[in-house]
Amino acid sequence: MIDTHAHIYLEEFDEDRDEVILRAKEKGIEKIVLPNIDSSTLQRTLQLADQYQGFCHAAIGLHPESVKENFDEELSLIESHIEKRKFVAIGEIGIDLYWDKTFESQQIDAFKRQIEWAVELKLPIIIHVRNSFGQVMQVLKSLRNRHLTGVFHSFTGNLEEANEIIRLGGFKIGINGILTFKNSHLRETVSQINLENIILETDAPYLTPVPYRGKRNESAFLYYTCEKLAEVYGTTMKEVDLITSQNARDLFKFPS
């Protein structure tokens, strides 16, 4: 399995990060993608990717919740690192209007500018969407002839939205522990789309799947999302693993 979205560089893992990675490997995780948040997490992201080369892979971007008055400075700092080393994606980027709409125009601006980096570097984008599906799609549709690829991270939308993503071409749908939540409608939506459109993720330390909901999430718990997905599709975990892992390899250009 490939965990395509985990923040295990955060302080929540400072006491046992090596053990967390060991447990992930023991559960069959072969790679972890580390999307950056902002300048405060960049060094942690890079250090972990360097420490576990070939297993942990850094993505770079400015999270929409970190887009404030100083977003120009943040973007400049991130852009300077893009020139120094290779990344597997631009992310985590996007638009988040759940808590605060104060910086909506700045979020859209930052999103567009980071997409331009991805186009130039031929990298996929990792998109954070919260109460902003329409705005995100508007931006992407205006750039769809630019050969964009990416993933809609932590998808919680309906079938219509899932099909809209699929019609874009080149985009995958990121499924995590939300799929296991008792009252989640996600299982019904997912069951009506093809497994070839899905990649697995944890969003660790957040969105911990059942049976560990309420505790800190970690990459090893991807197992339970894979298990639930197999149940939804009426197939084996091996089949889900094979297809979603290949989807992730294709998207992030990992060797088979």
pLDDT score of 148: 93
pLDDT score of 256: 83
**In angstroms, what CA-CA distances link 241 with 173, 182, 200, 249?**
15, 23, 9, 12
Nearest to 23 by CA among 45, 33, 8, 12: 8
* CA-CA-CA-CA dihedral for 140, 248, 26, 37, to nearest 10: -30
Give the tokens for residue 144.
């769809």
What's the CATH number where 58 sits?
A: 3.20.20.140
pLDDT score of 199: 98
Domain span including residue 173: 2-252
In tens digits, the chain (256 residues) has pLDDT values of 999 999 999 999 999 999 999 999 999 999 999 999 999 999 999 999 999 999 999 999 999 999 999 999 999 999 999 989 999 999 999 999 998 999 999 999 999 999 999 999 999 999 999 999 999 999 999 987 678 999 999 999 999 999 999 999 999 999 999 999 999 999 999 999 999 999 999 999 999 999 999 999 999 999 999 999 999 999 999 999 999 999 999 999 999 8
Q: What is the number of domains present in the chain? A: 1
pLDDT score of 147: 86
